[in-house]
Structure 1
């Protein structure tokens, strides 16, 4: 597949911006009133634009939702009045402190209440990719409960949902998708969280990367299946056929939720992306292909839940030169830190 490299010329830059603007504005909103596509705003780098410039850049590109990974005050200030909907992350390192209800209340008052409603908070992600074996796992649920209770006190619990971001490694079985089930190790950790989400009518946040699944099992996973390029069904699961790994992974998580008693729970894909350099299959062409196909696809739902747009956050806005340890971690950006697009993406 051919691709066009972005240059520093104003003409190419403007064309790429227009193309990206078409992507984000054409995707519209899903059934819950949120944009189908948002973009994560990671800041583990020393060469990024200022927080105000980043927020302005989201607006220029018509991007209507953002995920950040900590309550960066300059970012929150810049978001005021923009109508950009926000996933606010609470870092794993502070989860233990939030098991104290007073600390959680102070955290909510400082980082949420003081900015509301000028900042359009949508979800609070209490922890990111905490595994059952991680020391922080014992703090996640209590921190979620305390953050939620603080939002209740502020009368914001119906406006802002509390969740946590997980990854598919919590599954003990994922193939075929209807067999998806949380592992025995994960169940004592995730089941109480699922019960909390059910009681508060909140979605589960999930980071889904077909890239990592592919490079971890190239013998059994075809690159086309990971890139949404398979011409026909690769996996047949009873009456449901799967042409891409993204749908298969997401539906396996839905199956696991069903087996945990949460058959109606929504999943928000809080991260998904493909690196453009730094490792196997990490090329500009593959990254462009993945992002374009993902953007085109999420409005359609999955085989298990057809016609229900998938709220999805692309990872990420910019390359982050201080991430690691894998070299690919530095190359997930749609843009270089100088705000030049690495590739134009054509919306079809």
Structure 2
């Protein structure tokens, strides 16, 4: 084989492994975290090829220039109403996407995160998605960037057995028009999938082994782990909503290391390690992997509100030392 052929094979192998690496969500809700450039350097030194950021922080966008890291860029829920104005959406895309698009590898725009169907903001999600899509198209970036919304899996009812999954009556009028948009634009649905919370709230019927990918053998409906069951219930709901061709990107998944039920370095490390290994393949319903997945989160965030567990999802400590021994690629 010639030197040029060997080089090409090496490049293709690198591309293939890069495409299968997991991403990590970058939250910066802490007063002791590394600066944006140090954070991006940590992504690069650990071979983390994908990042999710929750709003257009220009410090992190500057740091991502030339990194070749694939980016999910978020529109914050507080900004949804403003982006119902087409001009404002165009300005947003021009300022935060088009201006960086030569040097930053945007992949998805997540227009809103976990908006509840009964939240007053829910009415603004679809128009904002459509306006951002139109602005992306006007910037001639529609071939590179897909526009979507990140949901909680609590929108799915009848989730067990997974084939019975369906969007709940309360969620249906909110999610179905979004699914129609995704179908029309060939875009994935983003979903935040947390076996931890399902286990915590249903310990009488869910075992820890099932949640941590350590169960031996499958259960009575053919599932070996809770992650696959949750994801396949969502796929079943999508099929019933007319989205049988819509792919799901797991835009968050994690396990806290302290602060609550079944939280420990050992359990969290087991979850992340097994998740990274597991998503190289598929689920019983969608066996052809890999499953594009983003770990939550890069750092522990000491200013997060809510339960104590919210502060302890980091795979790195604020001093940049790894909490677990993980191979991200």
Question: In which range does the TM-score fall when normalised by the shorter chain?
Answer: over 0.9
1:167 matched to 2:148 = no
Find the partner of 1:295 among 273, 276, 281. Answer: 276
Aligned partner of 2:23 in structure 1 is: 38
Are the aligned partners of 1:27 and 1:36 in contact in 2 as well (CA < 8 Å)? no
1:112 matched to 2:97 = yes
Are the aligned partners of 1:275 and 1:282 in contact in 2 as well (CA < 8 Å)? yes
Aligned partner of 1:262 in structure 2 is: 243
| Residue 55 (structure 1) shift | 0.5
Are the aligned partners of 1:70 and 1:91 in contact in 2 as well (CA < 8 Å)? yes
Aligned partner of 2:128 in structure 1 is: 143
Q: Could you list the per-position Cα deviations for residues 99-149 of structure 1 after superposition, in whole angstroms to 9, with x for gaps in the alignment?
A: 000000000000000001200000000000001011110000000000000
Where does 1:174-253 land on structure 2 (aligned, <5 Å)? 174-236=159-221, 241-253=222-234
Aligned partner of 1:59 in structure 2 is: 44
CA distance in 1, matches of 2:303, 2:283: 35
Aligned length: 317
CA distance in 1, matches of 2:176, 2:190: 14
Aligned partner of 1:271 in structure 2 is: 252
Aligned partner of 2:266 in structure 1 is: 285
Are the aligned partners of 1:124 and 1:160 in contact in 2 as well (CA < 8 Å)? yes
- Measured on the aligned residues, the alpha-carbon RMSD in Å equals 1.6
Aligned partner of 2:321 in structure 1 is: 340
Are the aligned partners of 1:207 and 1:269 in contact in 2 as well (CA < 8 Å)? yes
Are the aligned partners of 1:80 and 1:119 in contact in 2 as well (CA < 8 Å)? yes
Q: 1:42 to 1:235 in 2, by over 3 A?
A: farther
CA distance in 2, matches of 1:295, 1:120: 22
Runs of 4+ more than 2 Å apart: 26-30, 33-36, 345-348
Aligned partner of 1:21 in structure 2 is: none
Are the aligned partners of 2:21 and 2:49 in contact in 1 as well (CA < 8 Å)? no
Q: Could you list the per-position Cα deviations for residues 134-169 of structure 1 after superposition, in whole angstroms to 9, with x for gaps in the alignment?
A: 111000000000000001111111210000000111
CA distance in 2, matches of 1:209, 1:28: 29
Using the TM superposition, name which of 34-43 and 194-203 deviates more.
34-43
CA distance in 2, matches of 1:254, 1:143: 24
Aligned partner of 2:295 in structure 1 is: 314
What SS does the corresponding residue of 1:261 show, helix, strand or coil?
coil
Q: 1:75 to 1:134 in 2, by over 3 A?
A: same
CA distance in 2, matches of 1:43, 1:346: 23
Are the aligned partners of 1:206 and 1:271 in contact in 2 as well (CA < 8 Å)? yes
CA distance in 1, matches of 2:233, 2:141: 32
Aligned partner of 2:10 in structure 1 is: none
1:152 matched to 2:133 = no
CA distance in 2, matches of 1:36, 1:345: 12
Q: 1:29 to 1:166 in 2, by over 3 A?
A: farther
